[in-house]
Structure 1
Amino acid sequence: SLLTFWNVAATAQLTVEAVPPNAVEGQDALLPAHSEGQKFYGYIWYKGSQVHESHLIIRHIIRSNITVTGPAYTGRETVYPNGSLLLQNLTLNDSGVYTLQKVDEVLQSQNVVVKLSVYQPVTQPSIQTINSTVAEDDSVTLTCLSEGHAAVSIRWLFNNEELRLTDRMKLTRNNSVLTIDPVWRADAGLYQCEVSNPVSSRKSGLFRLVVLFDPTRSPGLSGGAIAGIVVGSVAGVTLAAALAYFLYFRKTGGASDGHHLTEHKLSASNHSQGPFENHLSKVDEIAYSALNFNAQQPKSPAPASPTPAASETIYSEVKKK
């Protein structure tokens, strides 16, 4: 009886998806019953997860071919002999969960839960900004606008490829606003944003960003970085010049001092008495020899007079040994 049919209890539950699971507003969707190979007494469809009269869409008794509609019936629902339910001309309000109660010959029931999502096709977005021409090292903000669609995904494209974010680029939480700070000349080009949902996607028109820059500057370097490079270069040149001057002064000044010291020792050797000469240490002899060697390296020819002194120096060394 119909009363018994109302009070059957579910013994199992199966969750499936509608066909298609993500449907477009205005199209149709099928809610499958999955009743193949089984015999049932009847089918009951409810809107929502609760099996209650207030949520009844349609009740169909197979043997008597009786169909009864309920409070949730809209006139766009059709039940098939296998228990599947067709929803026509979908609206956004049709999204949600549907429950099918299948009753067998002994009045045992099996519940099937069907999920359906209905979306509007997205509209073409647009990119807005305060200024499409910016100077290098300034900042720019691009906003992707899509009317009437809150639950959409947004991605950005640059020169027809997906934008590769750098540490200078920031996106808002929903990706609708792109900020570049600072702007480099490499950021100049064509930008697009694409909005999508599970049933559609659209791209904005091309937006050209123009970046003004100083052609004498290296690309990708800020003013502070360039100033640092200039200061570092000047400091390096100054240090190199100071080092070269020091080495030159050491070489020329040392040679001159050695020459004067050698002449002084030669004069002392020629005029010293024997006892003083006997007190010369080996260190003095070595220093004397080394300084005399340096004295023999001047660019101009040595005077004729020091030559005998050099011979005397060698003789003195042999004599000491």
Structure 2
Amino acid sequence: MAKLPLTTISICLLMAVAEPQSFTIQTEHRQINVTVGETANFSAKPSAAVRNGNWEFQGKNIGLWIGSSASISNDYKLRAEILTPNGSLLLKSVMFSDSGEYTVTMVPEMGAQASAILTLHVLAEPQSFTIQTEHRQINVTVGETAIFSVKPSAAAKNGIWEFKGKNIGLWIGSSVCLSNEHKFRAEIFLPNRSLLLKSVTFSDSGEYNVTMFPEVGDPASETLTLHVLGSLLQTESTRINVSVGETALFTVKPLAAVKNGNWAFNGTNIALWFSSSVFLNYEYKSRAHILLPNGSLLLNSLTFSDGGEYTVTMVPEVGEKASATLTLQVLDQSNPRDNLNDGAIAGIAIALLLCLGFAIGISAWLIKRKSEAMKTPKQGQNTSSVASDRAAALHENSQAIYENIPRR
């Protein structure tokens, strides 16, 4: 590669130094958003030393400066300030009428002047931070999914969901942390921070509280109430068959924590309980037992008069009360048929029919064997005569059969 002469390099360097760069004005923000009553800072930075300059708002003079001396117009004397030497403008106690375009023009020590335009947006006073809810009352059937829909009025940097004072989940920025109890059932949606709760049970009924902390301002809270609908009580069987003198177990299973409940027979109270305290009717004191915490009933030494409908009513900790009815049939031990259910009776009938069919089949087979034995020729008997006898017998039998056929 050929080398350039030293004189050529020197001339290029002198030309580069001699050519001045164009004068420019840099601005930190061309769009300035300020709340009404606050101060707007129009920050400007010239690329070289400035001899003089001025600020204007929609063609109206705000102020000018020469060197380090600044002069403000009468309309802005109490609110505006020009910061030298860079020429930035401060506008205090801004009003809605101050919104618009501001033009700064600067003349450098050397070179042509330059201008820059900045736009001011004066905003209304910020409203207090609030949380909006789509539904304060949420009704969901047991086993379904509940959605607690919320919408903050501004960005919330962190917050927490709680149920009866217990933590469900919290978030900081975009990171969400759920409690172990709700890890597999709950989900917090960003950015609105709504809560989703899956496979709800009756114990999920109650008040849910959300608290959010905005970027600016005080935190806000909101409460939503969940009602889980459906049957509170599950029964193992609604019909119980027990013999006289034995014990009947009325098994029930509540799907939520029960505050109190009672058992009744044909409208007559048997027992009631509050939490872990049980009170029995005097007539059932020696025969009835309430099995806590599920509230099942155990009834000993049954008599025929115990047959009928038994109703259990339970009141949950949260939600509406629920009832279930079970029917008791007391059977007589002396009558075996009373102890047979419909399935057993049907099985016996089928077995009898099968036995009858088998007996008929055996009888038909024996009759056929006997008939064949009678038709076999004896030793020494003429074969032709036997054949003739068989033909005659067959003819007679055919006539007899034909005559026995009923005619229409």
TM superposition score normalised by structure 1 = 0.45
Greater relative contact order (CA < 8 Å, ≥ 6 in sequence): 1
Going by fraction, where is strand more abundant, 1 or 2? Answer: 2
Q: Calculate the TM-score normalised by the size of structure 2.
A: 0.37
Report the structure, 1 or 2, having the larger helix content. 1
